[in-house]
Amino acid sequence: MGNQLVATAPSQILSVESFLADASEFTFYKSLGSTRFMKVARARYQDGYAVVKVFVIPDGSLNLATIAEVESIMLKLKHASNCLPFQRTIITDKSAMLVRQYIKHNLYDRISTRPFYNNIERKWVAFQLICALNQMAKCNVWHGDIKSENVLITSWNWLLLTDFASFKPAYLPDDNPADFNYFFDTSRRRTCYIAPERFTDNQSMLASNELRDYDVAVTNAMDIFSAGCVIAEIFTDGTPLFDLSQLLAYRENKFDPEAVLNKIDDIHVREMVKHMTQCDPAKRYTAEKYLNEWRGKIFPNHFYSFLKFYIGRYCDTPLLSADQTVSGLHKDLDNILQNLVYLENASETLVILSSLLLSCIRKLKYCNCKLKALHVVKEFAKHLPSHVILERFIPYLMELLKDRVPRVRAQALRTSATCLTFVSQVPRSEANIFGEYILPSISLCAQDTEVPVRQAFAETIAIFAERALMFLDSPQQDLNTSYISALQLLRDLTQNRVQVLLSDVDSTVRECLLEFSVSRLCAFFGRQKANEVLLSHMITFLNDKQDWQLRSAFFKSLLPLASYIGWQSAKFLKPLLQQGLRDHQEFVVSQTSNTIASLVELGLLPKNMMIELLKETVPFLVHPCEWIRLNTVAVICSCSQVLGTIDVHCYVIPLLLPFLQYQILQVEKHHVLLSALKPPIRFVIYDLVYNFPQVKNLFNALKTKQDNRLQNKVSFLTDLDSQTEGMLRKLTSKEITSHEEDITDWHNECKSDGIRRHADMAKDSETNATTGKVTSKKSSNRKKETVQGMNEEWRTMFGADNSKVPAPSHVTKKASSTNLSISMSQLEHKAQATYHQIPEPKAGDIQFKYASCQLDLRALVHHNRDLYKSDLNQRHLEEIADTTSSQPITDWRPKGLLVAHMLEHRGPIHQIAVCPSNNHFVTVSSDRSVRLWESAKFEGKSVVNRSRASCQRFGGAVRCATFSGDEQIVCSSDDGAIHLLSIESMSTRATTEKQDTTSTPILYTYPVSHKQHGRVTDLKAIVNSPVVVYTTSYGNITALDLRTKDSVWELKHDLRNGVLTTFCVDPKQHWLCVGTARGVHICWDLRFKL
């Protein structure tokens, strides 16, 4: 355009808005500045916002040929990722307009905007600036006016070099600043980053600005000098390297910028800036050489090998949406951590990627993408310094607490708490962040309308309280008030929120508070407040008879609370623990026993209380629940270790004798005590007696029967009511053994809401049967010895004389017209047939008179008859089901009603299997876990549904599962194995680490070779059979006997019909039908294996 424009005065001054009227597709929005040379505006158009630079044409004689170069530059830099040339030119009679995309921040503004750049971000911006110069050099394009105002920075720290000055003069007079002010000092900052060689006093060169060849006039060395000045401004936090007068003096070696360069801490950056800003342009390198020369010194290797290409993917057109960007980061999370943290040990570089992540959070639309973003934030926070977490992550997390989706709000709370745990140092600028920002933001979550949010707040409130206290104790804290008053204010605020949670109407919220926060809140409140605020409210949870999980959580949280209060807690622990031992729910009893063991180990229970609790706990040694038995053993061993040797022999061992097969001395050792215990009572017997209303009459009948068996005589059970007689028949039909009769003793405890019972299991089964007379005096003494320490109400039900030779068991038979025989317990040893004189039987009596060998034979016959009858009934039902035909309901449609929402699995769920009784079902997943669920729990009333038990001890993803009966689960995993699991032994929420090491739910593992058979594709159990059939990807169909752990039969499928995907087996084992991936169905005859 020429230097004559400087002296040209416009004939009329118009606003920039008037010029935009000539471009109808652009609508004026805001003026961005106006100078004599150009007017700049921000305008709307159909794709967003644009920057329009307007040059007012003073007269028609002005040559606008240089404007055409703008379109040429745009075509050349089309694929330059760090360059943003003008994208359109509009020439009218009054003006020439240059249009480009609008970017909010330039480098000059970003340097002084929070959060301030750290060292790695400065290097990243400098690296991108030199990359932009390298991209321009490869396209044979030069900028001509590089300064911090022309370097644009996106919200994810991507650099774009813009406003290419092809229309500005290449040379300026060194004695007249008017040209510089007119063309280059548009911001009026007086900074000058133009190369010294562009100032000249040669009039011929100045005149060539009119008809210059742009590609020849401006050189790469000139842009290198300007870029060096911008890099110096980056590393000195905005201090300019030159103004116009200093640059002219530097051109004549009369000024040294050493004072500004010394502010750059990194010596390598200082050397590179010095090299880029040399007066002699011939000594300056090209951009590519600067990248290669300072690789590994200033710019880390992962800038070249990973980061530039990875972030560049999200900057290419078409740009990805925010949800797509977050999903990509979440998918590549492992790869990112592997490249930046584990291999390069450059965790600080995650700050750059976190800018990309945080720039998308406010624009996310989908719930799953928001949850993914929170997960990535949590993983990044593990490797980032404290000030980055507080300055960058916390504001976005607090913003997500206002999200409309409850799951997002709940997860934002958990992520905030987790990120705060990674804060190890408190910056002085963030010392008041808790009191002024975080606590007011999270306080409203305690009264959120959604239960999951309140649950998350209950889980994390202790973490927030702890971190707030840490910030309060930090030396950077500048308190306007005293420390004591500030601490009291923090405790009062936390106490109010905790009391709201403790009185929440939903029990799951209170359960979360007990499980996750009580122990930490004790330390936060102090001993007195913990007793007043926490314990007084927690005791009321035991009144909730409907939610056993809340009661179990109470006893689990009782340990840390008592540990913090100390020995003073003993006075209130005893009634609470006794109530837990008498609870009707087995999980609560198990957790109570575990708590007692831990309290004993910590020395929080006095000696007399230990002995009293032992008397109530020892009978659980023969309880049918394995978890209760194991925790009871833990209680006994803990007490034995704390008590002295004399106390163990005086108090502990006498209590254990009725439940031991043989006497032991090392009571404190778990394995010794477990090996000596008598077998437990079966669940089927326990349930029958537990639910029987006339329990006293039943005990009397069992006691009379036991005494007669011990004396080896025949007796009659007279005066029995119909209910007791029916219960005796049920017990004999369940094959109750003499051992179970001897050790079974039952407590019935009457309460206001009904009758509740416990199995006390306090009976010595080893009896000393005398060959002579058994006097009533000996029997009475024997009862007193057995029932020592038991309740008076039941003392008459205990007692059995120890015998070296066990007496034979008998079979009861009712003397009635039905002549129905009832099988009793089997004999443990051979005994001679003995007969006694039988008195005349009365109507309604139950008579005993059989030899031992005859009893064994009769028991075997009746057992086989029962099996045969059960098989006939099963076949009859199957035949009825096969022959019955019913028309399908034509107008029925599924309602799509959501019954339950389960969130425990961390990976895809591959299969759901239902047990034959429909009481349970199991899910298997890629997260290598098997989870057992109770069907009765899923009635749509619970907000959070939890699995009853789980097992996570597999070497690969679990693909298939089925039930073998109601007590065993068979599943297959990707590591080439089929596992048999016991439901009773699977770990639950009530189990502890001590229990997990004692037993494993995996009974055994059957290997399936990947090389010979391939992966297991499906797995099913045959009804009423211990045989499981599985198919493999190589076409094998194998039947596995769970008893012998060996294959029963095997079929070979032709893979030309497709890979086996599913199958079904006839319950009668006559046929088997398979389906393949090609849609082929093949039926096999299992009788002939065809």
Whether residue 819 has pLDDT greater than 70? no
- Domain range annotation of the chain: 3-101, 111-299, 685-860, 904-1007
Distance in angstroms (rounded) separating the CA atoms of residues 792 and 783 = 12
Q: Which residue did the predictor score with more confidence, 687 or 591?
A: 591
What is the identity of the amino acid at 384?
A: L
Please tell me which residue in 145, 448, 745, 760 is annotated as part of the active site: 145
H/E/C letters for each residue in 482-539? CHHHHHHHHHHHHHHHHHHHHCCCCHHHHHHHHHHCHHHHHHHHCHHHHHHHHHHHHH
Q: Indicate the range of 296-305, 565-574, 764-773 predicted with least confidence.
A: 764-773
Q: Indicate the range of 684-698, 841-855, 885-899, 915-929 predicted with least confidence.
A: 841-855
Confidence at residue 451, expressed as pLDDT on a 0 to 100 scale: 94
Q: Indicate the range of 37-41, 65-69, 563-567 predicted with least confidence.
A: 65-69
Query: From start to end of 17-94, where are the E strands?
Result: 27-34, 39-45, 48-56, 83-84, 88-91
Tokens read off for 896: 């799509």
Confidence at residue 308, expressed as pLDDT on a 0 to 100 scale: 93
Confidence at residue 577, expressed as pLDDT on a 0 to 100 scale: 92
Confidence at residue 948, expressed as pLDDT on a 0 to 100 scale: 84
Residue 1028: which of 1012, 1045, 1004 has the closest Cα?
A: 1045
CA distances from 197 to 220, 570, 808, 888, 1021 (A): 12, 89, 118, 93, 88
Whether residue 119 has pLDDT greater than 90? yes
Confirm whether 145 is a catalytic residue.
yes
- Burial (0-12, 13-18, 19+ Cβ within 10 Å), 286: middle
What is the identity of the amino acid at 284?
A: R
Which residues make Cβ contacts (< 8 Å) with residue 817, sequence separation at least 6?
none
Q: Which residue did the predictor score with more confidence, 743 or 32?
A: 32
Distance in angstroms (rounded) separating the CA atoms of residues 258 and 759 = 90
Q: Does residue 151 sit in helix, strand or coil? A: strand
Q: Indicate the range of 311-320, 503-512, 535-544, 855-864 predicted with least confidence.
A: 855-864
CA distances from 597 to 95, 212, 590, 674, 922 (A): 89, 93, 11, 16, 32
Residue 397: which of 458, 354, 338 has the closest Cα?
A: 354
The residue to which tokens 């003499």 are assigned = 738
The residue to which tokens 């390198």 are assigned = 285
What is the identity of the amino acid at 714?
A: V
Q: Indicate the range of 198-202, 381-385, 875-879 predicted with least confidence.
A: 875-879
The alpha-helical segments, DSSP class H, found in 342-482 are 350-361, 367-381, 386-388, 394-400, 406-421, 433, 439-442, 451-473
Q: 121, 157 in Cβ contact below 8 A?
A: yes
Q: 709, 828 in Cβ contact below 8 A?
A: no
Distance in angstroms (rounded) separating the CA atoms of residues 552 and 514 = 10
Is the preceding omega at residue 300 within 30 degrees of 0, hence cis? no
Confidence at residue 281, expressed as pLDDT on a 0 to 100 scale: 92
Whether residue 806 has pLDDT greater than 70? no
Confidence at residue 425, expressed as pLDDT on a 0 to 100 scale: 86
Confidence at residue 772, expressed as pLDDT on a 0 to 100 scale: 35
Q: 88, 99 in Cβ contact below 8 A?
A: yes
Q: What is the pLDDT of residues 341-355, one digit of tens each?
A: 888 788 899 999 999
* C-alpha 1041, offset from chain centre: 37
Domain 3-101 has CATH 3.30.200.20: yes
Q: Which residue did the predictor score with more confidence, 568 or 287?
A: 287
Q: What is the pLDDT of residues 919-971, one digit of tens each?
A: 889 999 988 889 998 887 776 555 667 888 888 878 889 999 999 888 889 99
Task: Give the residue-averaged pLDDT of 814-820.
Answer: 33
Would the CA dihedral through 772, 776, 782, 783 be positive or negative?
positive
Q: Give per-residue burial for 665-697: e unless 16+ CB within 10 Å, then b.
A: eebbebeebeebbbebbeeebbebbbebebbeb
Q: How many CA atoms lie within 13 A of 115 on its CB side?
A: 25
Confidence at residue 975, expressed as pLDDT on a 0 to 100 scale: 86
Confidence at residue 307, expressed as pLDDT on a 0 to 100 scale: 93
Q: Does residue 746 sit in helix, strand or coil? A: strand
Task: Give the residue-averaged pLDDT of 130-149.
Answer: 93
Q: Indicate the range of 40-44, 547-551, 762-766 predicted with least confidence.
A: 762-766
Q: 1.10.3720.10, 3.40.50.1110, 1.10.510.10, 3.40.30.10: which CATH number matches 111-299?
A: 1.10.510.10
Which residues make Cβ contacts (< 8 Å) with residue 1036, sequence separation at least 6?
1013, 1014, 1050, 1051, 1052, 1053
CATH architecture of 904-1007: Beta Barrel (2.40)
Q: What is the largest CA-CA distance in the chain?
A: 146
Task: Give the residue-averaged pLDDT of 563-569.
Answer: 76
Confidence at residue 992, expressed as pLDDT on a 0 to 100 scale: 38
Query: From start to end of 705-787, where are the E strands?
Result: 746-751, 754-759
Distance in angstroms (rounded) separating the CA atoms of residues 575 and 557 = 16
Q: Confidence band (pLDDT; 50, 70, 90) for 717?
A: low
Q: 619, 760 in Cβ contact below 8 A?
A: yes
Task: Give the residue-averaged pLDDT of 242-260.
Answer: 92
Confidence at residue 867, expressed as pLDDT on a 0 to 100 scale: 82
Per cent of the chain over pLDDT 70 is: 81
Would the CA dihedral through 398, 400, 404, 407 be positive or negative?
negative
Q: What is the pLDDT of residues 621-672, one digit of tens each?
A: 989 999 999 999 999 999 999 998 889 999 999 999 888 988 888 898 999 9
Q: Confidence band (pLDDT; 50, 70, 90) for 529?
A: confident
Task: Give the residue-averaged pLDDT of 879-897.
Answer: 62
What is the identity of the amino acid at 186?
A: T
Confidence at residue 861, expressed as pLDDT on a 0 to 100 scale: 83
Distance in angstroms (rounded) separating the CA atoms of residues 237 and 116 = 9
CA distances from 567 to 93, 564, 614, 717 (A): 94, 9, 19, 53
Q: Select the highest-mean-pLDDT range: 16-25, 98-107, 173-182.
A: 98-107
Confidence at residue 328, expressed as pLDDT on a 0 to 100 scale: 95
Q: How many CA atoms lie within 13 A of 847 on its CB side?
A: 17
Q: Confidence band (pLDDT; 50, 70, 90) for 827?
A: very low
Distance in angstroms (rounded) separating the CA atoms of residues 911 and 909 = 6
The residue to which tokens 């706990």 are assigned = 617
Q: Does residue 1064 sit in helix, strand or coil? A: strand
* C-beta atoms surrounding 223 within 10 Å: 25
φ/ψ of residue 326, rounded to 5:
-65, -40
The alpha-helical segments, DSSP class H, found in 184-317 are 203-207, 214-217, 220-235, 244-251, 258-261, 267-276, 287-293, 301-302, 308-313
Whether residue 815 has pLDDT greater than 90? no
Per cent of the chain over pLDDT 90 is: 40
Residue 394: which of 308, 595, 384 has the closest Cα?
A: 384
Q: What is the pLDDT of residues 382-427, one digit of tens each?
A: 999 999 999 999 999 999 999 999 999 999 999 999 999 999 888 8
φ/ψ of residue 768, rounded to 5:
-100, 95
Give me the chain's average pLDDT, please: 81
Confidence at residue 820, expressed as pLDDT on a 0 to 100 scale: 30
Confidence at residue 109, expressed as pLDDT on a 0 to 100 scale: 92
Interior angle at CA 253, CA 247 and CA 254, nearest 5: 75
Confidence at residue 875, expressed as pLDDT on a 0 to 100 scale: 72
Tokens read off for 232: 């110096």
Whether residue 25 has pLDDT greater than 70? yes
